[in-house]
Amino acid sequence: MVRRLYEADDQACQQLLAKRPAENLFIIGDIENFGYDQEFQKLWGEFNESEQLIAILLKYHNNYICYAEGEFDALAFAEIINDDSDFMQLSGLQSITSQILSHIHHPAPKTRTLYYAKCETTAYLDETANTGNVQRAKIGDIPSITQLHSLIPEFEMDNSREDSMKRGLQNGSARTYFIKSDREVLSCASTTAENSMSAMVVGVCTHPDHKKQGYASVCMTKICQELLAEGKMLCLFYDNPAAGSIYKRLGFEDIGKWMMHVFHPEEQVN
C-alpha cells in the first residue's frame, strides 16, 4: 500500500533511512529541515503486509527522489509523479530510478550519471598530514573562496554561490575548510546538505598556480577528520574513475551511480 507520509510516520521513516545514511542524505536532510507537509515538499511511503515501511518517495519542489531497500511498487510511485504538472526531475541511485523511469509518461529525459561514494572511517587518512594550516571558513572568508571557485574551469558559473555559502554557514548545513597564503586561498573543500547523520562533500579544488602540492588532500583529510568525529558519514559525487582514485585513497568507496533525469515541462505529454 502506498500513501502520504506525515509527522506521525517519522519514526518509521527514520528507521528505514538510517540504515543507509549516505544513500539517503538528501531525504534525511529535507525531512529534518522542512518536515512532511510543506507546499514545496511532500512524502509518500509504501508499506508491506506487516505495515512496515519499505520505500519512500520525496518531492522537493519539482524534483523527486526515491529510496527502497528491495523490491517496491515503482508503478505506484510513477503514477504520483505523472500526476504532478510541476515535475521536472527524477534523481536517485540507478538501481532505483531505473524501475520508476520505465513508467514515466514523458519523452526521454536528459540524463546525467555520476559516481557516488561514501567514507565512514578514518583508517585511510594520513595521520602525519599537516592540517594545522587548514582553517574553517567564516562569513568574511567566503568572497576569497568564491574567487578561487571562479578560477576552476570544471566549476559552473554561479552568481548565487556566495549567498548560498553564507546561508549554509549560518544555518549549519554547510562548512568549508581552506588553506591560505597571504591573501590568496590556495585550496578548499566544502560540505553541503549536512544533516544529523551525513554530509555531502563539494567544491574540492586547488588554485591553478598551486597544484600537485597536496593542498586539496590536506583539506580533505581535515574535513573527513572533523565530520567523522561528529558521527557523520561523508558522501560525494565524482565524474570519472581518475578523480575517484584520489578520493579512494582517503577511504571513500563506491556505493553506486547517482542518476539525474531532467524533463522539460514544455515536452510533457498529457
Q: What is the 3-state secondary structure (H, E, C) of 232-259?
A: CEEEEEECCHHHHHHHHCCCCEEEEEEE
74 band by pLDDT with thresholds 50, 70 and 90:
very high
Residues 246, 127 share a domain: yes
Cβ–Cβ < 8 Å for 228, 22 = no
pLDDT value at 98 more than 80: yes
CB 93 within 8 A of CB 256: yes
- 160 and 234, same structural domain? yes
Contact 30, 192 (CB under 8 A): no
Q: Is residue 223 scored above 90 in pLDDT?
A: yes
State whether 208 and 132 are in the same domain: yes
196 C-beta neighbours (distance < 10 Å), count: 14
End-to-end CA distance of the chain: 26
**Residue 60 pLDDT greater than 90, yes or no:** yes
The band of 268, judged by pLDDT with boundaries at 50, 70 and 90, is: very low
CA distance 239 to 112: 10
| 129 vs 124: CA distance, rounded Å | 12
Same domain? 141 vs 234: yes
pTM of the model: 0.86
Looking at the fold, whether 153 and 241 belong to one and the same domain comes out as yes
pLDDT(129) > 90: no
- Owner of C-alpha cell 505523472: 82
Of the candidates 196, 10, 215, the residue with the CA atom closest to the CA atom of residue 129: 215
User: Residue 134 has which C-alpha cell?
Assistant: 587548514
**Residues 126 and 246 placed together within one structural domain of the fold:** yes
Asked if residue 201 has pLDDT above 70, the reply is yes
Strands, sheet with 110-119, edge to edge from the N-terminal-most edge strand? 2-4, 41-47, 53-60, 63-68, 89-93, 253-262, 110-119, 233-238, 198-206, 184-192, 175-181, 135-136
The whole-number average pLDDT for the span 13-28 is 95
Burial class of residue 56 in the structure, from the number of CB atoms within 10 Å of its CB (0-12 exposed, 13-18 middle, 19+ buried): buried
Judgement on whether residues 136 and 74 belong to the same structural domain of the protein: no
Do 149 and 106 have their domain in common? no
- Of 48, 47, 69, 66, the C-alpha closest to 57 is 66
pLDDT of res. 269: 45
The domain in which residue 95 lies consists of 2-114+258-267
pLDDT for the residue numbered 94: 96
Q: Are residues 157 and 63 in the same domain?
A: no
67 and 6 both lie in a single domain: yes
Model confidence pLDDT, tens digit, residues 156-186: 888 889 999 999 999 999 999 999 998 899 9
CATH number of the structural domain spanning residue 225: 3.40.630.30
Q: Are residues 35 and 93 in the same domain?
A: yes
How many domains is the chain built from? 2
pLDDT at 265: 62
Whose CA is closest to 227, among 141, 139, 125?
125
Q: What is residue 17's predicted lDDT score, i.e. its pLDDT? A: 97
Residues 89 and 194 both lie in one domain:
no
Q: What is the mean pLDDT of the chain?
A: 93
Q: State pLDDT tens for residues 38-50.
A: 999 999 999 999 9
